[in-house]
Structure 1
Amino acid sequence: MSARRTLLVPAALVGVLLAVSGCGPDDPSGPGPAQAATGTPGGAPASTPAAAPSGAATAATAATGAPGTAAPKATAPATPTAPPTGGTAAPGGGVDEAYAYAHPCDAKDLAIHVTARPEASSQRVIEVRNQGAHSCGLSYFPLVSLGDSHAADRGKDIRPLVPGGLGGPPAYPVGAGRTAFAVIDLNPGGGSTAASAGVDQLNVVADGDHMPTAETRNFPLGPGAKVRAPKLGLYRATVADAVASAATADQQQH
């Protein structure tokens, strides 16, 4: 009997202690095994919600339109701008006139072609294409002569008439990758007989102001070409404008 009473006292004592602490084995407020081992961010008990960061509170206040608080404004992305152009226009690009006036074309950068104009059998189109990487300057018109390709003496070559009253910039600017056109009319009056027999070649220097005669390019006129008081126009950006310029030629080219 005494042994049984001794065992009952500790059990009753345990019950009193658990009642005082309020944390019995089935109390849901007590930490579970995992929570007791790891805790929560900031050391707060699992049953206590963590305080919201101040930045989140500010954003929430702005979103609700609280008095005295302006909502953040969205910023549009910056519009990209094109890079500025310089004196080295890309092929097909614009003409930098200031650069061209200060930099005469180099003969090695030019391709010269002469073709017959289908609309007028007496006219030839002189095409000078700038194949360089920069704009460059040509003279107002090419240096042109017509003569006998077999003659040893070229002093008798014929010089065409050219437009007079020239002024303004000292050169014709041509952009990189672009072509300048000049038109020569071999027989503008339409005469049936050539003034000089044996004239079968057109000689062209693209820039008579800066290039030596060694840069002359020779082009055959073809059979049956008639040459009488020829006229040469200024360099122009189109064949039509070059034809109109040739019609105004009234002075002898030197």
Structure 2
Amino acid sequence: MSMKSALTSAAVLTLGALALTACQAGTTGTAGGSSPSSVASSPASGTAGASSGTSGSTSGQPVSASSGPASSSGGSTGGSGGTGGSGGSGGDATSDSYAYKHPCAPQQLSVHVVRRSAAPSQRVIEVINNGSRSCGLSYFPQVSLDNAQAADGSQAVRPLIPSGLGGAPAFPVYAGRTAYAVIDLDPSGATTGTVAGVNELNVLADGDHMPNAATLNFPLGDGALVLKPKLGLYRDNVADAVSSMQSADHQS
């Protein structure tokens, strides 16, 4: 699989931080079963009409979207840490080869979910490397859709992903840059036959190297339509992430 190392900078949109009640979680997510390692408090600034085609709200909830390091309210993990020293044992800490040998740590990332204005059933998962060194992610985030009140996740819906994966050992994310993955909750646009009760998107940025406790939970809101969802691979821009999602054909 061909991996791109140069990441484009996307214009962004941010809504102001809002105080949320206990029954209305922030869309920056809350770590499943544990407190996030770091919580930032000020949203990044942005510009309306972002070229990525994303909207600044997810099911009526505030979000913070960014193409660079960002801070936000809620449970997204953040921080300026990283793995290894500058240069490190893996060579140049800004290189792909360094990223391949150094998986991203939860504390050096922040994760956001943004609804696409051009396609309301689609969500953009943004994973930002807040560290000072490159790091590597699994080919795609580990994602499931469920009811926030479900006790064991046994009824969780998992999306299709693209088949035939191979190539580089990881998706490299440079310091201060963003990896994008897109999930379509209801690719067919069906309004009947959808899964009842789904109101939460669960995201683990790297299912190959991170513990389940690092999973973040993003509210979809009641009434979300979910039927045979599709998830694409990480890409360095939203357009490519959408194309990858459209090729999903294998159960994750």
Quick check: 1:88 aligned with 2:87?
Answer: no
SS in structure 2 at match of 1:127: strand
Instruction: From the superposition, tell whether residues 177 and 157 of structure 1 become closer, same or farther in structure 2 (CA, over 3 Å).
Output: same
Contact kept, 8 Å, 1:87 with 1:135, in 2: the verdict is: no
Q: Which residue of 1 aligns with 2:98?
A: 99
Deviations 1:113-154 (A, max 9, x none): 001000001000000000011000000000000000011121
Contact kept, 8 Å, 2:194 with 2:227, in 1: the verdict is: yes
Q: Alignment RMSD, CA only?
A: 1.3
Which blocks of at least 5 consecutive residues in structure 2 are unaligned? Answer: 1-90
Contact kept, 8 Å, 2:198 with 2:222, in 1: the verdict is: no
Question: Larger relative contact order (C-alpha < 8 A, sep ≥ 6)?
Answer: 2
Task: Kindly report which structure 2 residues correspond to 1:100-179, keeping only aligned pairs within 5 A, or say none.
Answer: 100-179=99-178
* 221-230 vs 209-218, greater mean Cα deviation: 221-230
Deviations 1:193-251 (A, max 9, x none): 25211100000000000001100000001243100000000000000100000000000
**1-structure distance, mates of 2:234, 2:187:** 18
**2-structure distance, mates of 1:165, 1:239:** 21
Structure exhibiting the larger radius of gyration computed from Cα positions: 1
AA matched with 1:195: T
Deviations 1:54-106 (A, max 9, x none): xxxxxxxxxxxxxxxxxxxxxxxxxxxxxxxx6233xxxxxx11000000001
Which blocks of at least 5 consecutive residues in structure 1 are unaligned? Answer: 1-85, 90-95
SS in structure 2 at match of 1:133: coil
Q: Which residue of 2 aligns with 1:250?
A: 249
AA matched with 1:167: G
**2-structure distance, mates of 1:199, 1:210:** 27
SS in structure 2 at match of 1:156: coil
SS in structure 1 at match of 2:181: strand
Q: Which residue of 2 aligns with 1:200?
A: 199
Contact kept, 8 Å, 2:134 with 2:175, in 1: the verdict is: yes
TM-score (norm 2): 0.63
SS in structure 1 at match of 2:154: helix
TM-score (norm 1): 0.63
SS in structure 1 at match of 2:145: strand
What is the percentage of aligned positions where both structures have the same residue?
A: 61
SS in structure 2 at match of 1:236: coil
Task: Kindly report which structure 2 residues correspond to 1:52-71, keeping only aligned pairs within 5 A, or say none.
Answer: none
Contact kept, 8 Å, 2:93 with 2:99, in 1: the verdict is: no
Task: Kindly report which structure 2 residues correspond to 1:4-15, keeping only aligned pairs within 5 A, or say none.
Answer: none
AA matched with 2:161: V
Higher helix proportion (structure 1 or 2): 1
Shift of 1:155: 1.4
Q: Which residue of 2 aligns with 1:214?
A: 213
